[in-house]
Amino acid sequence: MKIGVYVCHCGGNISEVVDIKKVMEFAEQQGDVALVKDHAHMCSDVARKMLVDDIKEYGLDKVVIAACSPQFHGRTFMGTVEKAGLSPYVMEMANIREQCSWPHYYQPELATKKAKDIVKMAIVKARLDEPLEKKTSPIGKRVLVIGAGIAGIQAALDLGDAGFKVYLVEKEPSIGGKMAKLSRTFPTEDCAACILSPKMADVPANPNIELLTNTEIESISGFLGNYDVVAVRKPRYVDITKCTACDKCAEACPVVVPNEFDEGLSSRKAIYLPNPIAVPHAYVLDDKSCLGLFPLACSKCYDVCDAGAINYDEKPERINFTVDTIIVATGYEIFDPRKKKVYEFAKSKNVLTALDLERLISLEAEGTVLRPIGRRIAFIQCVGSRDELVGNEYCSRICCMYATKLSQLLKRADPKRDVYVFYVDLRAFGKGFEEYYKRAQRTGVKFIRGRVAELHEDSHTHKVRLKVEDTLTREIIESEFDLVILSVGLRPSEGTTKIADTLRLIKSPGGWLQEAHPKFRPVDTLADGVFICGCAQGPKDIPDTVAQASAAAARAIRLMNKGEYEVDPITAFVDEKLCSGCGICAGVCPYEAITIELKDGKRISRVNEVVCQGCGACVASCPSGAQQQRWFMTSQLHAMLSAALGEEV
């Protein structure tokens, strides 16, 4: 057996701490080691060429790379070794950066000693490595996109245009999400509805997209290439193919409730059009506020519907389908400002959220004035963001810019207005944002750095009195305003939290969905074939959301386009002689990959190797040592332990 050992300097990251020469000398003394080399950057093209040449020239059959974490460059070197004609699974990485030079920066001698141990462990493991072969598995071209806000719409359209079958599932009766509520979008001030509605209209027009509105995901099981989805379509009671959106039903309906689309500022009937640009453009009956369907109480809407579109007998419908990959675009909710009691939201008439103001401005543009906006207006920034008192440490990233936008829209509509923005830090980081902020200042919006300490609405005049310290001039400002706007932050939507549980996705602090790698795999998750995009992954603006949605579509296409995909052979397998069929392994398997079967009258555990993700839980739980994991065999782990403990192996 010939093992080649390569020690990387990592451009100083390792060599500044670890004595590379000593590690190399140590490696040379190990049995079966035929070649030891070092390089400033093992991951560089030139070093990898050297590795390929060495494997061929010296006939190496095992390789140890002492460098960074296998999480970081494992795939890189596996590919290189494969190029030289070896199995990618005879390559071992000794992590002497993340687990050695970085944490032990101030103890170079001990670090060198530890580096030797780590290299030795990799060598003894490599000795026992078997040349496993990659497997391929067939995959179809069906995608489930969950959530039809701008992120889901963009991902679905990209996939549909590329010829993939898309199931677009939305729990609300219309697609469009939060973006449909906005007035204009920063920094270009495009009208949100004008740029969104053509995209919304493209969805039902795309022959590859099956749009399922008013539908929620009940369960998802299976694995990449074979996800079984159960969705439940809630009854709409209106046939979308017959409804002409004539509004007669809503006129006749005697039930008035707050309109969610206008954040409860306006009202709607129990049968209603979700919003003016709704897709599908059909009414929906809200059975929670309707006078009653069983027994049927009123039926005034049915009586006036000329199209015969109303059917009170609709029942929830379960829809089953199978997809190959999944894109999660379940979005956000705004922070509930009632949790921040100091701002007296919902108690004061003249304290609104920024989303309320978006609706007021949009409705005004459409010709409906719900309330006067007033002359003196204050924006309070960071409501529910960067605030540990409410448990949200993160920055919501969009509030600075939407306040900049809304404030100058108000100022421009009436230059006599006094518009103030009380901020903590003003973050104008995106393309064109700083210029847009400057433009707001030129328009006459006054930006004052300071967190509002006190807010009180006068019970007679309804003017809102604010007390705030200008932290730049150290002046205490006390002033009255006609309207106070809370720039509320974002939080993960209920759907985001729910789908994380259904798909077993990892959440990052704040409850957002965690990507597989923040820089190099920003839309992947650790679940194979599940991608995330938009605000489900974290707060972001529309350009970033659209870019991420297209990225998620591209990543999904990358997996499906070839018609087959590679599966790691790092799976568990059962030694049938040792297995007693106790079933403990099946109980601990988080992927439901293990079944207990009868074979010649004996209960035996069987691993579905396509489903197995190689987590090792079954191996650790097996009381008789019958479960083994390829590439991490018990014999290999024992050898590594012995090496670490200084025993002869």
DSSP state of 517: B
Q: Which of 198, 217, 490 has its CA nearest to residue 328? A: 217
Q: Which stretch binds another protein (CB under 8 A): 53-61, 78-86, 219-227, 247-255?
A: 247-255
Q: How far is the CB of 260 from another protein (least distance, A)?
A: 8
Q: How far is the CB of 371 from another protein (least distance, A)?
A: 5
DSSP state of 197: H
Q: How far is the CB of 390 from another protein (least distance, A)?
A: 15
Q: Identify whether the C-beta of residue 423 lies closer than 8 Å to the C-beta of residue 396.
A: no
Q: How far is the CB of 241 from another protein (least distance, A)?
A: 28
In whole angstroms, what is the distance from residue 184 CA to residue 195 CA? 10
Q: How far is the CB of 502 from another protein (least distance, A)?
A: 23
Q: How far is the CB of 507 from another protein (least distance, A)?
A: 22
In whole angstroms, what is the distance from residue 545 CA to residue 316 CA? 32
Binding to another protein in span 27-86, by CB under 8 A: none
In whole angstroms, what is the distance from residue 379 CA to residue 484 CA? 6
Q: In sequence order, what DSSP letters do the residues of 23-78 get, joined into one string?
A: HHHHHHTSTTEEEEEEES-TTSHHHHHHHHHHHHHHT--EEEEEES-HHHHHHHHH
Q: How far is CA 306 from the centre of its chain?
A: 45
Token pair 């709704």 is found at: 278
The answer to whether the Cα torsion of 384, 385, 387, 393 is positive or negative is positive
Q: Which stretch binds another protein (CB under 8 A): 12-20, 297-305, 540-548, 593-601?
A: 297-305
Q: How far is the CB of 251 from another protein (least distance, A)?
A: 9
Q: Which is nearer to another protein, 263 or 457 (CB)?
A: 263
Count the residues of the shown chain that bind another protein, applying the rule CB under 8 A: 28
Question: How many residues are listed for the chain in this entry?
Answer: 649
Q: How far is the CB of 382 from another protein (least distance, A)?
A: 20
Q: Which is nearer to another protein, 265 or 584 (CB)?
A: 265
| Binder among 204, 222, 235, 264 for another protein (CB under 8 A) | 264
Angle between helices 45-58 and 70-83 (to 10 degrees): 50
Q: Identify whether the C-beta of residue 286 lies closer than 8 Å to the C-beta of residue 270.
A: yes
Please report whether residue 625 would count as binding another protein according to CB under 8 A.
Answer: no
Q: Which stretch binds another protein (CB under 8 A): 7-15, 50-58, 246-254, 579-587?
A: 246-254
Q: Identify whether the C-beta of residue 23 lies closer than 8 Å to the C-beta of residue 119.
A: yes
Q: Which is nearer to another protein, 263 or 358 (CB)?
A: 263
Please report whether residue 497 would count as binding another protein according to CB under 8 A.
Answer: no
Q: Which stretch binds another protein (CB under 8 A): 139-147, 215-223, 263-271, 611-619?
A: 263-271
From the number of C-beta atoms within 10 Å of its C-beta (0-12, 13-18, 19+), residue 93 rates as buried
Strands 602-607 and 594-599, by their bridges, are antiparallel
Q: Which stretch binds another protein (CB under 8 A): 85-93, 125-133, 333-341, 546-554?
A: 333-341
Q: How far is the CB of 259 from another protein (least distance, A)?
A: 7
Binding to another protein in span 361-420, by CB under 8 A: 370-371
Please report whether residue 292 would count as binding another protein according to CB under 8 A.
Answer: yes
Q: Identify whether the C-beta of residue 384 lies closer than 8 Å to the C-beta of residue 342.
A: no
Sheet holding 483-488, edge to edge: 351-353, 483-488, 376-383, 418-423, 446-449
Q: Which stretch binds another protein (CB under 8 A): 92-100, 250-258, 397-405, 627-635?
A: 250-258
Please report whether residue 110 would count as binding another protein according to CB under 8 A.
Answer: no
Q: Which stretch binds another protein (CB under 8 A): 103-111, 134-142, 292-300, 563-571?
A: 292-300
Q: Which is nearer to another protein, 121 or 360 (CB)?
A: 360
Q: Which amino acid is at 635?
A: S
Count of other CB atoms within 10 angstroms of residue 595: 13
| Binder among 297, 365, 413, 506 for another protein (CB under 8 A) | 297
Buried b (16+ CB within 10 A) or exposed e, 376-406: bbbbbbbbbbbbeebebebbbbbbbbbbbbb
Please report whether residue 11 would count as binding another protein according to CB under 8 A.
Answer: no
Q: How far is the CB of 347 from another protein (least distance, A)?
A: 9
| Binder among 265, 390, 610, 611 for another protein (CB under 8 A) | 265
Q: Which is nearer to another protein, 336 or 469 (CB)?
A: 336
Strands 376-383 and 418-423, by their bridges, are parallel
CB-side neighbour CA atoms (13 Å) of 500: 17
Please report whether residue 561 would count as binding another protein according to CB under 8 A.
Answer: no
Q: Which is nearer to another protein, 206 or 266 (CB)?
A: 266
Q: How far is the CB of 337 from another protein (least distance, A)?
A: 10
Q: Which stretch binds another protein (CB under 8 A): 15-23, 224-232, 239-247, 293-301?
A: 293-301
Q: How far is the CB of 291 from another protein (least distance, A)?
A: 4
In whole angstroms, what is the distance from residue 187 CA to residue 431 CA? 8
Q: How far is the CB of 231 from another protein (least distance, A)?
A: 25
Q: Which is nearer to another protein, 259 or 497 (CB)?
A: 259
DSSP state of 292: -
Q: How far is the CB of 266 from another protein (least distance, A)?
A: 5
In whole angstroms, what is the distance from residue 454 CA to residue 476 CA? 11
Q: Identify whether the C-beta of residue 144 lies closer than 8 Å to the C-beta of residue 537.
A: no
Count of other CB atoms within 10 angstroms of residue 587: 12
Please report whether residue 257 would count as binding another protein according to CB under 8 A.
Answer: yes
| Binder among 201, 205, 256, 620 for another protein (CB under 8 A) | 256
Buried b (16+ CB within 10 A) or exposed e, 329-362: bbbbbbbebeebeebbbeebebbbbbbbbbbbbb
| Binder among 59, 258, 509, 583 for another protein (CB under 8 A) | 258
Q: How far is the CB of 338 from another protein (least distance, A)?
A: 8
| Binder among 336, 434, 469, 576 for another protein (CB under 8 A) | 336
Please report whether residue 259 would count as binding another protein according to CB under 8 A.
Answer: yes
Q: Which is nearer to another protein, 377 or 617 (CB)?
A: 377
Q: Which is nearer to another protein, 31 or 258 (CB)?
A: 258
Task: State which H helix or E strand residue 123 sits in.
Answer: helix 108-128
Q: How far is the CB of 344 from another protein (least distance, A)?
A: 12
Q: Which is nearer to another protein, 190 or 260 (CB)?
A: 260
Q: Identify whether the C-beta of residue 147 lies closer than 8 Å to the C-beta of residue 212.
A: no
Please report whether residue 291 would count as binding another protein according to CB under 8 A.
Answer: yes
Residue ranges that bind another protein, judged by CB under 8 A: 252-260, 262-267, 291-292, 295, 297-298, 300, 333-334, 336, 338, 346, 370-371
